[in-house]
Amino acid sequence: MILLNSTPIKTMTINKLVAQTRTCRRFTGSPITTSTLMNLIELARLSGSARNGQPWQYSIINDQQSCCDIFPHLGWAGYLADWKGPAPEERPTAYILCLLNHDRLNVAEKHAHFDLGIASQNILLGACEQHILGCRIGAFSPEITRTFNIPDNLTLELIIALGEPKEKIVIEEAKDKNDIQYWRDTDQIHHVPKRPLKELLVTLERTTD
Ligand SMILES: Cc1cc2nc3c(=O)[nH]c(=O)nc-3n(C[C@H](O)[C@H](O)[C@H](O)COP(=O)(O)O)c2cc1C
């Protein structure tokens, strides 16, 4: 069990950094600077990309008004049925909008979302190193696009909400194959079951011919 602690960690092994890079949905309200966010986009820029097509672009949002405008369109923690999302003082203080540029899709269209997975994880790893956690939000309402003038060649596919973490998160081993739902205990600690390593491994027999 890994307890997310609240002190910044200066140097981390990759195992620890990956383990600490948890989805977080409650934040302290501390602002995140534009230069910090630009550094995170730099990590997306350096990410692997199918056929090196690099179809993704990113928009940084960290002003209060835009953060307020975005928030009502976000779907939070589907498994926590009684929780309506972070309270006003616990909301993210920055967002990265991930936009697919359709003019750059010609070389590797079917792999574009793999690229976004890699890039968004690099963003979140880099954020964690800076003691910032986040939440990928795929469940946003289409009305959010009315908040910004998004050029016709770009579509909003994912939003990364970011902030200084306020919640405690633990990873634990999933008890059985159906144990995938994250949950909160009475101390408001967020628990995330992960399947045991042996369940990820598949031994394949070699074919005979
Ligand atoms: C592509 C993607 C979309 C997601 N969309 C949402 C979302 O809309 N709302 C939300 O609260 N969490 C969302 N999550 C976060 C997942 O719920 C989270 O990754 C999962 O519970 C496992 O927790 P962990 O990231 O700490 O391992 C998303 C994660 C991914 C990878």
Q: State the burial class of residue 113 (Cβ atoms within 10 Å of its Cβ: 0-12, 13-18, 19+).
A: middle
The DSSP annotation for 79-96 comes to T-TT--S--GGGS-SEEE
Euclidean distance between CA atoms 135 and 77, whole angstroms: 10
Give the CATH number for residue 44. 3.40.109.10
How would residue 106 be classed by pLDDT, with cut points 50, 70 and 90?
confident
Across the chain, mean pLDDT equals 94
- Give Dmax (Cα) for the chain: 64
Provide the 3-class DSSP secondary structure of residue 75: coil
Q: Which residue has the tokens 């194959």?
A: 177
What's the rounded mean pLDDT across residues 141-166?
97
Domain contains 188: no
Ligand 1, atom 23, lies closest to the CA of: 23
The string of pLDDT tens digits covering residues 41-74 is: 999 999 999 999 999 999 999 999 999 999 999 9
User: Is 142 among the domain residues?
Assistant: yes
List the end-to-end C-alpha distance of the chain, in Å, as a whole number.
Answer: 45
**Is 178 inside a domain boundary?**
no
Q: Ligand 1, residues 135, 159, 160: which to mutate, most atoms within 8 A of Cβ? A: 135
In a domain, 133, yes or no: yes
Q: Flag whether 116 is in a domain.
A: yes
Name residue 135's beta-bridge partners: 161
pTM: 0.94
Ligand 1 in reach of 58 Cβ (< 6 A): no
The whole-number pLDDT of residue 1 equals 47
Residue 15 has pLDDT above 60, yes or no: yes
CB atoms within 10 A of CB 6: 12
Number of compact structural domains in the chain: 1
Decide whether any atom of ligand 1 lies within 6 Å of the 171 Cβ: no
The answer to the question of residue 162 being in a domain is yes
**pLDDT tens profile 115-136:** 999 999 999 999 999 999 999 9
Domain that holds residue 151: 28-167
Tell me the average pLDDT across 95-105.
Answer: 96
- Decide if 42 is inside a domain: yes
Residue 113 counted as domain residue: yes
